[in-house]
Structure formats: C-alpha cells, structure tokens
C-alpha cells in the first residue's frame, strides 16, 4: 500500500509540474517598451573645449565675393565628430575663403578677446 501511495503521489507531482510549465509557456511574453530619444546634435555632443573652437570658427567666417556659403555651427561640429582634426577643418574653411585668419590660433585668440571684452 505504501508503494502504490508513493507512486500515485509521484504521478500527481509530475502532472502538476508539467501543468505549471505548460501554463508558464502559454503566457505571452511582454515586450519591453522601447523609448526612442532623438539623436544629440553634433554641437551638443562636443566637449566644452571643442564647443569653444567650433564657435570661434563659426564666428570667424566672413561673407566672400566667391559666393561660398558660410558653414553652420552644426556643420562645423559634424566635421569634428566625423574624425577630422580642428586644424584640418580650419584649413578647409580657409581654402574655401570662409576664414581670413592665418592660423587657428589667431581665430581662437580673437574669439577669446572678443568674448572677454563682452563680459
């Protein structure tokens, strides 16, 4: 009698375990909610020092008779984010006639002096 009781109990436990496993599998899995954030602008993702250089280059642009369209602050920042060095960005802008300064150092010096005289 003990043997048949143990066998019956074993079968019941097996059925119960199989039923809960099947029940757990039949529940639909909830998908995590995906929250999309807008990509950060190129300028916003720059460090403070890089923002200073980008702004100095932006403000150093002058309208030219050659008809070159001045770059936006975002375009300048995107050049840096794409891996170009600031010296290369400066040289490209200078070759397009957008900047008249001889060196990037002159651009930064003029920007810093103008910024400090405003404050």
Give the residue, 46 or 12, on which the prediction is more confident: 46
pLDDT at 109: 96
**Mean pLDDT taken over the chain:** 80
The ranges assigned to domains in the chain are 48-118
Q: Which DSSP state fits 1?
A: -
Which pLDDT score is estimated for 116? Answer: 87
Q: Tell me, yes or no, if the pTM score tops 0.75.
A: no
Which pLDDT value is given to residue 40? 76
Could you give the percent of the chain with pLDDT greater than 70?
64
Please compute, for residue 34, the number of CA atoms within 13 A of its CA located in the half-sphere on the CB side.
3
More confidently predicted of 20 and 42: 42
């Amino acid at each position: 009698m003990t043997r048949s009781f143990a066998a019956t109990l074993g079968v019941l436990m097996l059925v119960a375990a199989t039923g809960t496993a099947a029940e757990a599998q039949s529940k639909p899995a909830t998908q995590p909610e995906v929250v999309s954030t807008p990509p950060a602008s190129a300028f916003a993702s720059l460090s403070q020092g890089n923002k200073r250089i980008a702004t100095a280059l932006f403000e150093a642009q002058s309208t030219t008779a050659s008809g070159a369209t001045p770059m936006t602050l975002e375009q300048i920042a995107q050049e840096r984010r794409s891996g170009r060095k600031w010296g290369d960005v400066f040289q490209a802008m200078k070759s397009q006639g957008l900047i008249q300064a001889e060196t990037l150092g002159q651009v930064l010096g003029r920007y810093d002096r103008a910024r400090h005289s405003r404050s």
